[in-house]
Amino acid sequence: MIFYILANQITTLFLSMSLLTTLSFDSNVESYIYGGSKEDIYFKVTGNSKTLVIKPKISPVKDRSFSNLLVVTKKGKYYFNLSLDERNPHQFLEIKDAQINKAMKEVLSTKDYKILEGASSSLIINQSHNELRVNSMNIGRKKYLGKGIPIIIESNRILN
């Protein structure tokens, strides 16, 4: 699965206690910083230096979640929120830089929002009269996101 990520946007990764999640980048991983305890999650940069392996060591307790993760590669930096989802975790991810696309097609439409996708970005159009909470951001009218990343609207995982 490919995650196209726009600069400085935060992407949610869904992890599993029983599966590894791998993040493969186009350039070498120079460092990573996890905001929580090293007892929470296992991290390892593999031999090719372009892949980061992640696996939770513990399940977050009620009212506590995993912290965030910053990965710095030779060519960029990527921000992630880490969350547990045993039913639909991410496993093998290619991380690529996104660009805002103008040519897009509609992939989902409801009375409150539309989601359009281009080659490497998505566009969320708010059709309601209120702000829409999308990926921890309040959206008035519209917002571009990377393509392939999870889209979470009003605390519901809509895509990916």
This prediction's pTM? 0.91
Q: How many domains is the chain partitioned into structurally?
A: 2
Close Cβ partners of 34 (under 8 Å, ≥ 6 residues apart): 40, 41, 43, 67, 68, 69
Instruction: Name the phi and psi angles at 143, rounded to 5.
Output: -155, 135
User: What tokens appear for 159 in the block?
Assistant: 């895509």
Q: Is the C-alpha dihedral spanning 125, 129, 134, 139 positive or negative?
A: positive
Same domain, yes or no: 42 and 58: yes
Same domain, yes or no: 71 and 10: yes
Q: What is the pLDDT along the chain (160 residues), one digit of tens a residue?
A: 999 999 999 999 999 999 999 999 999 999 999 999 889 999 999 978 999 999 999 887 655 578 999 999 999 999 999 999 999 999 999 999 999 999 999 999 999 999 999 999 999 999 999 999 999 899 999 999 999 999 999 999 999 8
Domain interval for residue 117? 105-159
CB-CB neighbours of 44 under 10 Å? 12
Same domain, yes or no: 83 and 141: no
* Length of the chain counted residue by residue: 160
Same domain, yes or no: 91 and 14: yes
